[in-house]
Structure 1
Amino acid sequence: MWKKVLLVVAVVGAAAYVAKRVKTASEERALWHEATTAPDLR
Structure 2
Amino acid sequence: MKKLLFAATLVGVGIVIWRLVAQEDEARDLWAEVTDKV
Identity of aligned residues (%): 32
- Runs of 4+ residues over 3 Å off in structure 1: none
CA distance in 2, matches of 1:4, 1:20: 24
Secondary structure at the aligned position of 1:25 is classed as helix
Which is higher, the Rg of structure 1 or of structure 2? Answer: 1
Asked whether 1:10 is paired with 2:9, we answer yes
CA RMSD of aligned residues (A): 1.4
Q: Which runs of 5 or more structure 2 residues have no equivalent in the other structure?
A: none
What is the TM-score normalised by the length of structure 2? 0.83
What is the TM-score normalised by the length of structure 1? 0.77
CA deviation digits over 1:1-42, x for unaligned, max 9? x1011000000000000001111111001011012214x8xx
Q: Which runs of 5 or more structure 1 residues have no equivalent in the other structure?
A: none
